[in-house]
A and B are shown apart, each in its own frame.
Chain A
Amino acid sequence: MNASTLTAPDAPQTAPEALRPARRPGTATVLRWEITKLAAQARSRYTLLGCVLGPIAIVLIFNGQQTTPSDTIYGRQIHTSGYAMPLFLLAFASQWIFPVLASLVAGDIFANEDQHGTWKTILTRSVSRSQIFWAKTVTAIMFTIAEIVVLAATTIVASMLLIGTQPLSGLSGQPLASAHALQLVIASWATALPPLIGFTTLAILLSVVTRNPSAGVAAPVVLGLVMGLLGTIGGFDLTRRFLLTTPLDSWHGLLTEPPFYGPLTFGLGVSAAWTVVCLGFAFFSLRRRDITGG
């Protein structure tokens, strides 16, 4: 402290008991609080901006190339239909971009309180640990959903505007008329949401447990890559079904003739199970923990 004098008030600081309003904020207030904090972070604003600009740039680049990336699903068709590009990018993003997006905020949202030593600051106000937990969790999930919606919308609109609205060939070779193709593309992107909510809660768990923002963000991405790798190795068929990366491919069933929904519904169950387990462990870990740092 410098030499300036503290000027303590002469009047008592305490309000009479009867005058003091009972003001215990509800979880909705804590949620608004958490969102305000997130909005104040440059990282979140730049990420959303990236979700708008990134797909436009990628569509422009791939559209300008002579060759097509034929080793990825729908890669061959990206020049012939504006609906192939969003599907190709969906498959491409599933490899590591999605896990990164899911953990960017979620992996940090709990651990940054450890990093700044602010758990003790916020937990000595008028809200419980549970309220803080749910506010942070809902904020992280909403952010993931926002990222995916923005990413999907820009990708689809940019592809339709830059490449066109030509009919698409289904995965069984069946022709899909423009309007139907658009519906299927939107539905395909929507199937990424449940596993990505799963990834978000995995990042939340790692953020709570490691108490380290870098670990919270990086570990889910590494785990995603490992799961992706396990999925491609033979002999892990049973394991493969329960990996969080597997539901990211379940949209393929929407584009065959006849469509098959089995992997989609099973993937929904797998995503839900990961979500519940991760959130359960994260919740009890935070509830039980001694806040000794800071």
Chain B
Amino acid sequence: MSEVLAVDAADLTKIYGNVTALGGISVQVAEGEVYGILGPNGAGKTTFLRMLFGLIRPDSGTLQVFGRSWESHGIGVLEGVAGFIESPKFYPGLTGRKNLELLAGLDGGTTPTRIDEVLDTVDLTERQRRKVGGYSFGMRQRLGVAASLLRDPRLLVLDEPANGLDPAGIRDMRALVKRLAASGLTVLLSSHDMGEVEHICDDVTIMRTGSVVYHGSIAALREQAPAQAHRIATTDDDAAEKLARARDLDVTRTEEGLAVRGTQDRIDSLVADIVGAGIAMRGLSLDETPLEALFFMLTEPATHTAALDGATPATSGAHQ
């Protein structure tokens, strides 16, 4: 790892009319790191990544990529940086390969062999001669990855790369990102899905409506996560709820029954109580993972006040 940070953003703000897209966020990504920017819709993830690529200008704050800034280095900031924002876009009337050739032209050119390689990496070799206008969403997403890899990046920036893909597509895209990350590349990945980043990323910044609500390692976040929640459905949810409260468990009513938070032992005992009281179990399933639960608590605290009781708000590592 070098001394220079891959990304060093400080107090970035961006205001659109009366919407604060970014309210002074700071993000630091070390070289070689796999970093997640996590947040629900409208959190400001895309706005931040657009800023990194120089597509929009911050109202205030500073941003450096490998120690270079837009003010002093212009397009030179993007040397060694590649990726895409939202869904990647291409010229629909041209073939996938022609699009890649044209884009490579804007990087000073490449060899046909290199284009073959990246097309192979994203499994588009067979469709390369078809017009992009006829590509499926997933194919365009993969062509976006290919176009990024053509730049031989040190920093790969991906804005919700699995967004809009079908389950198989999501699985394949995640596998690709994982393997790229494992190859030593610095990866900055945005997502609204904790499950997508928790096994890939070392560190995360969690955002909500333009501000950072958590900033730190996934490991530290995991320590602060609440106990695993279970969904319990019974023939008499009122009685089951009373039994849970008697055991001092954190319980909330949901449409389908109860959501109960506690260690596996305590849940097991509760189930025994319920059945012992002559109430039939209709369902017992795992709810969101602890990290997902924490993510929801951080990003939509209003609807999770009950769940927040007893859990430590994980803003200790937050920047502001």
Query: Residues on A close to B: CB < 8 A?
Result: 1-15, 17, 20-25, 29-30, 32-33, 36-37, 40-41, 116-128, 290-292, 294
Contacts and interface: CB of A to CB of B under 8 A. Distances in A.
B290 interface: no
Contacts of A23: 107-109
B105 A29 contact: yes
A4 to B, nearest CB: 5
Contact of A124 (B57, B84, B108, B166): B84
Interface stretch (B35-43, B70-78, B227-235): B70-78
B166 A126 contact: no
Contacts, number: 162
A24 B169 contact: no
B123 A7 contact: yes
A119 to B, nearest CB: 8
A40 B165 CA distance: 31
B59 to A, nearest CB: 11
B78 A124 contact: yes
Interface string B105-124: 11111000000010011110
B176 to A, nearest CB: 4
Which 3 A-B pairs have CB atoms at the shortest separation, nearest pair first? Answer: A1-B169, A1-B138, A23-B108
A85 B53 CA distance: 55
A2 B136 contact: yes
B121 A7 contact: yes
Given A6-B142, A125-B151, A33 B74 contact: no
Interface stretch (B178-186, B197-205, B268-276): B178-186
B75 A9 contact: no
B136 A291 contact: no
A6 B175 contact: yes
B61 interface: no
A6 B142 CA distance: 9
B176 A8 contact: yes
A167 to B, nearest CB: 50
Contact of B102 (A1, A22, A33, A291): A33
B115 to A, nearest CB: 14
B139 interface: yes
A107 to B, nearest CB: 18
B144 to A, nearest CB: 8
Given A1-B139, A4-B123, A126-B108, A121 B88 contact: yes
A187 B307 CA distance: 83
Interface in B182-199: 183-185
Given A1-B138, A7-B120, A10-B183, 16 more contacts: A1-B141, A2-B136, A2-B138, A3-B172, A6-B173, A7-B121, A7-B123, A14-B154, A17-B154, A25-B105, A25-B108, A33-B105, A33-B106, A40-B93, A40-B98, A124-B55
